[in-house]
Structure 1
C-alpha cells in the first residue's frame, strides 16, 4: 500500500483546530492531530517533521497507548504510515546530530510496536531527506542507519555484545525518500534517483521520491516551479520505464496556487495538473480551514482515483527572463514582505531554520521569511506572489505554458481576485499592474480595501486569510 494522502505539519492555517490547547500547535496536540488525520480525515500517512521544528520523539509509543482500538485494526507501518522528515547534515550543521537520534528512534519505535502487536512490525521504515542534491546524501542516511543503528547489535561492549545486552535493532534497513527543493536538484532528480535505485537494485522493489512546490515557487516564481516539477515528474517516468522499478512521486502542495493550489474544493484540478503523482500532501489549512465533511470527501476522491501518466514538458527558453523579472520584483517587495511578516500569526513551534532562499536567509542582501509567511505577507498587501513577473510574459508565451500547465489561467484568475493595482503602483510595480489590467479580472473589493489598510499597517490580516481561505 503506497499512500495517496500524506498529512503534514505545515502551518498554513488561519483556523485553530478544535483539539488544540493553544494557537501554536506542538507536542501533545500534534499526537492528537496525527490520530485525527488517520481516523477522521482518512489520511494514510503522517509526516513527522524533525526538520526545522520540535516534535515528540515518542509519537509511536503515545499513539499506540492512547488509541489502541484504532491501531489494532489499522496497523501502524502497514495500513497507515508515520514518516519522519529528518535534518540534512549537508545543509543543517546545527541539527546534524538530530539525524542520528531520529534514526535511533526508528528502532526504538519498533520495540514499542513489537510489544503492542506481538510481532516484528516496523511502524517507521522510511525517512524523508530534505534539500537532497546528490545520491551521496541519500546513501549516507541509508548507511548511517545500517552501521550506526541496525548493525550496532553486533558490537561487543566490554564483556557482552550489544544484542545480548540490549537486544536486536529492527528494522535491519530503512528506505530513504529524497526531497528535491531547488531548480538544480529538480533538474538532476531523475539522474540521482536512477543512480540510487541501481545501487539498491537487489534490495528494493519500489522507490518514492518527493518534489517540493513551495520553495521552488518562492525562489524562482510560480511558473518556473510548476515547469521544473512537471519536467522532473516526466523524467522520473522514463527512469521507471528503463529500470522496471516502480517509482512513486510525492508532491508537497499547500492551499494557494503559489504553493500548489491544494484545497478541498480544488482537488480535481490538482489531480489533473499532476496526474502521475502517487501521494499528495494535505497541510494544515486543508485540514482545518474547511468543513471536516468537505475535507473527508476530498480525501476520499483522491484515494479512489488512480495515478496516470505525466504530462510531457520541455523547458521554454523564455523562462530565464521571467525568473530575472521575478527576482527583480522580489527585491522591490522585500522590505514590505518583512514588515508585514511580523504580523503573521505563528501556527507551529519552529526552530531557527538555516537553508535555502526560501528559509529565512540572506541572499544577495535580501532576507525573506519562510514560504508560508512570505505568501501570507504578499497576499495581505494585495500582491499575490503568483502574479509577480507576469508582465515579462507575452500572450503567446502564456499559451505555450498553458499547454503543459493545465490550470495556468485558472490559477492566475484566482490570484487576481485579491490584487491591488493601487499598492502595486505605489511600490514601483506599475508594469505589472498594467499587465494584469489587460486580463480584466473579477476582483473582491472588500478584500482589496482591507489589504490596502494592511499595507498602511492597519487592517485585519486574519480577516483577509478567512476571505481567501488560507493563511499562506
Structure 2
C-alpha cells in the first residue's frame, strides 16, 4: 500500500497542519494570521497551514499573502510548506462564499507558480460533507477557475485537489460509500481519480452525538478509509482534526497526546490547533508537535463500530444535552471570540430536531461546559453506564484515562447551580462506577468559586479555551 508513504505520486504529504481554530485564550485578528502561518512553520514544524473561510471572516487575499510572505522568508513553498484552504459548504453558507474562497486558492497558485514554478495550494477542504455532490461542485469550479486564470495570464496552474471533511457520526460510518461515490462520479466524467486526501474531524461529531459515539465513529472512519484504499487500489491519506480537550479528541493535549496518537492510528497529517500553540509553554507545544509527527503514517487499527451502540449512545447524549441547551447557550454567549468568526445564530449547529434552537459551535460549547465545572465528556455519563457491558476493556481504560483529566475540572456544586442536580448525579455515579480517582485542581476550584465567572482565567488553567 502506498497510502502510508511520505509521497503520493511524487507529491509530499504534510505531517502537521497549523489551523486557525478559536480554541485559545489569545485573540488572533485576521491581520496577524499571515505571520502566524510563518511562525507555525518555524517554531513547530507545521509544513501546512489551513486558511479557514468556513464560518469565518477571513480576507480572500490571505492565501496569496501567506504565499508571498513565505517566499520572502525563503520558505520552500509547494515543496516543504503548503497552504491549504478550507472553503464554506455552499449548502450552509451560500455558493457566493464558496466561489470566492475557491478563487482565492487558485489565485494564490498563480502567484506561487509565477515565482517558483510549483503550486502552493495543493488541496481545498470542503467541510460538513454528507454526500459526493458538493465535492463534485467544488471540483468543477476549481477546474473552471484554473482554466480561466490560465487563459487570462498564460500561467499554467494545476487546480487544487478536493479534500472531503467528514465530521459527523453518520458521515464517519458512511465514509466508504461517500468516497467510493466520489471516485465513481469522477471516473464517469472521464477524470482519472488522483491520490485522495480525506479529513476526519471529531469536534462536530461530538457536539451532535456525544464524546463516546464520536470516538467510536472516528475509529470506524480511519479503519474503513484504509479498507477503501486497499479495495480500490488507490492512494488515500488522512488528515485527523482534533483539539486539546478529550471531547474534541485530546490529540493536542500535552497530558494525552501520546495516548491519543496511538489510539487514533491511521492518520497521515494531524492538526496543531491554536490552544496548544498559545496556551501552553512553547517547549511543551513543541513536544506535542513531535509526538504527532512521529505517529503520523502508521496503519489504522482494524475496527468496525456497532451502529446500534452508537445510536443508543447518541440518543442518551442528545436527550441530556437538549434539556441543558438553553443554559449552555447563555453561557456560550459569554465565551470570548478569539478568531473573527460568524455569530452562532448565523452559523450554529443543530443537535436534534426538537432542540430549542441552534447550539453553539463545538469550541464555544466545550468552553461553556468547562466554565461551569462540567466537562462535556460527562454529558455521556448515563449512556456509558447503560452500555458499560458492551464496552471492551481497552476502550474503558482509554475512556478512564481521558476522564482522569476531565474530572480535575469537575466542580459538582457549581455545575449543579447552572445545570441542575440530575447531570451532576450521573457524573458522580460514573466516577464511582469506573473508579476514576481524580479530584478538582485546587487552583481551578479557587478560580471557579470566586464567583466572577472568569471564562478566560479558567481556560488558562486548563491550557485551552474549548
What's the TM-score, normalizing by structure 1? 0.86
Structure-2 residue corresponding to 1:12: 23
1:346 deviates by 1.6
Alignment partner, residue 45 of structure 2: 42
Paired residue for 2:228?
239
Deviation, structure 1 residue 196: 2.0
Which of 1, 11, 14 matches 1:3?
14
For residues 187 and 356 of structure 1, what CA distance do their matches in structure 2 show? 23
Instruction: Please tell me whether Structure 1 or Structure 2 has the larger radius of gyration of its CA atoms.
Output: 1
**Aligned residue number for residue 159 of structure 1:** none
Q: Comparing 339-348 with 242-251, which one deviates more in the overlay?
A: 339-348
Aligned partner (choices 427, 435, 442) of residue 438 of structure 2: 442
Is the contact made by 2:106 and 2:160 (CA closer than 8 Å) also made in structure 1?
A: no
> Which residue matches 1:30?
33
Deviation at 1:465, TM superposition (A): 1.2
**Does 1:195 find its partner at 2:195?**
no
Say whether the 8 Å CA contact 1:419–1:448 is kept in structure 2.
no
Contact 1:218 1:358 in 2 (8 A): no
**Pick aligned residue for 1:465 from 459, 462, 465:** 459
* 1:131 correspondence with 2:117: no
What's the Cα RMSD here? Answer: 2.6
Query: Within 1, Cα distance between the matches of 2:443 and 2:358?
Result: 27
Alpha-carbon distance, 1:83 to partner: 0.5
Aligned to 1:77: 78
Q: Is the aligned partner of 1:428 residue 2:429?
A: no
Q: Distance in 1 between matches of 2:54 and 2:71?
A: 28
Q: Which position in structure 1 is the counterpart of 2:349?
A: 357
Deviation of 1:304 (Å): 3.4
Take 1:315 and 1:406, find their aligned partners in 2: how far apart are those partners? 19
Q: Which residue of 1 aligns with 2:108?
A: 109
Q: How does 1:323-342 map to 2 (within 5 A)?
A: 323-342=314-333
Which runs of no fewer than 5 residues in structure 1 stay unpaired? 17-23, 154-161
Change beyond 3 A, Cα 1:323–1:451: farther
Q: Does the C-alpha gap of structure 1 residues 204 and 316 become closer, same or farther in structure 2, counting only changes over 3 Å?
A: closer
What is the aligned length? 444
Please tell me whether the aligned partners of residues 381 and 426 of structure 2 are also in contact (alpha carbons under 8 angstroms). Answer: no
SS of the residue corresponding to residue 239 of structure 2 reads strand
Aligned-residue offset at 1:441: 2.9
User: Deviation at 1:205?
Assistant: 4.1
- State the shift of 1:423 in Å: 3.9
Q: CA deviation at 1:5?
A: 0.7
TM-score relative to the length of structure 2: 0.87
- The verdict on how the C-alpha distance between 1:407 and 1:114 changes in structure 2, with shifts beyond 3 A counting, is same
> Matched residues in 2 for 1:275 and 1:265: separation?
18
Displacement of 1:399 in angstroms is 6.7
1:358-393 alpha-carbon deviations (Å, 9 max, x no partner): 69x996324321111111111111111101131333
Specify which of 45, 51, 59 is matched with residue 62 of structure 2.
59
Contact 1:186 1:229 in 2 (8 A): yes
Query: Any conservation in 2 of the 1:220–1:327 contact (CA below 8 Å)?
Result: yes
Q: Is the 8 A contact 2:408 2:439 kept in 1?
A: yes
Q: Secondary structure at the match of 2:270?
A: strand
Task: Name 1:282's counterpart in structure 2.
Answer: 272
Distance 1:207 1:406, change over 3 A: farther
Q: Specify the SS of the correspondent of 2:431.
A: helix
**Range moving further from structure 2, 224-233 or 390-399:** 390-399
Deviation string for 1:156-207 (max 9, x for gaps)? xxxxxx83xx223642433100011222222221111122234446634411
Distance of 1:337 and 1:275 partners within structure 2: 33
